[in-house]
Structure 1
Amino acid sequence: MTDSAGLLTGKSALITGASTGIGAAAARVFCREGASVTLVARRERELAELTAELSAAGHRAQYVVADVARREDADRAVAAAVAEFGRLDAAFNNAGTAVPPEPMHLMDDASFDAVMDVNVRGVWNFMRAELAAMLETGGGAIVNNSSTAGLVATVASSPYVASKHAVIGLTKAAAHEYGALGIRVNAVATGATRSEMMTGWMAQDHPAREQAMARRTVLSRMADTPEIAEAAAWLCSDRASYVAGATLAVDGGWLAH
């Protein structure tokens, strides 16, 4: 049921944070583009339902329940992708978390640690395992999900801003180190998106907050999750063969102001 002209036909891909939001949208987009997918997240019920949906549509999909902050979980998830599909060609390190914004001097260590463990250590853990697997088969492509908050300060919390800057730093470092070895590493700087995380933040005063976010973009709207997934799929594909170490803003022109 895959399209022979798909961006990712014949590729094995791994997606973290795949149970909901951008990750779940990426699972559907990557499968539509011909990939076999290994879906990774902490919530098994959502993963099982999505995997069943994809399998019923004729796609090759499996899931692994894992915490991205745990190195052993990253190793296990990547090993499962290789065991099931023979190799790992592409990865979208999408898992992320946030805490409510508040003044930095009032924020406790637990909030800082929670964000850094998922957003930075999670990317670090999975990239190390993914890079090792890709080196075994001659190359691949990795995309890390950063944010506009990884390029400029936003209304997000200071740990979130710091963590997303760190993701871009890790992306550049890995691209520099592994590009000549056949592995391209890039990031997407995601703008305001109708994901579970953003919906939670906008729960209070939703219409006003969404309108404010939309006005800041040149397209006058927030993104839908598949729009972020499409960009990640392209960066993982051979059609982005000369893109390495880049941060692609998928933000509706938010940074153009």
Structure 2
Amino acid sequence: MTPGAGQLDGKVAVITGAGTGLGAAVARLFALEGAGVTLVGRREAKLVEVASAIEAVGGRALVVPGDVSAPETAMRAAEETTRRFGGVDVLINNAGLHAAPYLLHETPLDEWNDFLAVDLTGPFLFTKAVLPSMMQRRDGAIVNIGSMVALVGFKGSAAYAAAKGGLVSMTRTTAVDYAQYGIRANCICPGGMEPVEYGNLSEQQLAKLYEAVDLSGGPLINRLANVNEVAAFLLTIVGPNGRSLTGAVIPFDAGFTAK
């Protein structure tokens, strides 16, 4: 496919956590579908790597490194995107920390604050920053990447679940508040994906996370979604085939939450 000839021809998307995993897959796919993409994340080298691959096949990419929980990062991303591409049509709030397995009474306050800052305040800041552009265009699509952990009780995930649960509620409120401007907001709640980096977890914490998955009974379908599959689903949500979808909270978890 040639960039500029797809479902997002002429659109502009801001994607957080775009250096690896799902964010990188979304950036590549959206660019192939014709969108100008702004890549946001902490690791500039990773963002540049993804942007270079996009530009090598004729796509349009802008790199904005920074901490998504910092207000200045969100404002800079919105401003630089508007200068480069003319505005913002799509926001994918993907950046987040992975669930660290602590029981609530064992959860350090710093850990709690970190999850709220990255997984909830970050999406709030970016949504706030891009809404004026979407309101002016009277069109827009916001997708927040939640988690199956926001929908069910899951052992050892108080801070992560609280942040992602708040994201679910923020999604619904955004959909209600901005429907009059033609802006849609949805949330998908994945289970495990591959390949995904668990950079904020130690080996011991990761083992506890897998133990919690086993204790929960696991998914109905014994497989992990590839990030490219999830990216394709996001394209459906933000593209022309998703124009009637808003306020939705969609599990993408191989049936984990169906039980």
> Taking structure 2 as the reference length, what is the TM-score of the superposition?
0.91
* CA distance in structure 1 between the partners assigned to 2:191 and 2:215 by the alignment: 9
**What does residue 232 of structure 1 align with?**
234
> Where in structure 2 are there 5+ consecutive unaligned residues?
none
User: 1:47 and 1:210, CA in 2 relative to 1: closer, same or farther beyond 3 A?
Assistant: farther
* Cα shift readout 1:127-167 (whole Å, capped 9, x = no counterpart): 00111121122221100000111111223521000110000
- Counterparts in 2 of 1:146 and 1:140: CA distance versus 1, 3 Å: same
SS at match of 2:187: strand
Structure 1, unmatched stretches of 5+, are none
Query: Distance in 1 between the 2:240 and 2:258 partners?
Result: 28
**SS in structure 1 at match of 2:193:** coil
Percentage of identical aligned residues: 33
Alpha-carbon RMSD across the aligned residues, in angstroms, is: 2.3
Instruction: State the shift of 1:212 in Å.
Output: 4.4
Which residues in structure 2 correspond to 1:204-223 (within 5 Å)? 212=214, 216-223=218-225
Tell me the alpha carbon deviations over residues 173-224 of structure 1, each in whole angstroms, 9 at most, x when there is no partner: 1100001211001111111112113895777669x76994997222211111
Q: Secondary structure at the match of 1:184?
A: strand
User: 2:229 is matched by which residue type in structure 1?
Assistant: E
Q: 2: CA distance between counterparts of 1:139 and 1:48?
A: 29
Deviation, 1:19, is: 0.8
Could you tell me which residue of structure 2 aligns to residue 14 of structure 1? 14
- Give distance in 2, aligned partners of 1:221 and 1:212: 14
Residue matched to 2:40 = 40
Determine helix, strand or coil for the equivalent of 2:142.
strand
Q: Aligned residue pairs: how many?
A: 255
Whichever residue aligns with residue 36 of structure 1, its letter is G
> What one-letter code is carried by the residue in structure 1 that aligns with 2:37?
V
Instruction: Verify the 8 A CA contact 1:91 1:141 in the aligned structure 2.
Output: yes
1:2 counterpart residue number: 3
- List, as ranges, runs of 4+ consecutive aligned residues in structure 1 with deviation greater than 3 Å: 198-206, 208-215
Q: Which TM-score applies when normalising by structure 1?
A: 0.92
1:18/1:213 CA distance change after superposition, 3 Å? farther
- For residues 42-61 of structure 1, the aligned pairs below 5 Å read 42-61=42-61
Does the Cα contact within 8 Å between 1:214 and 1:220 map onto a contact in 2? no
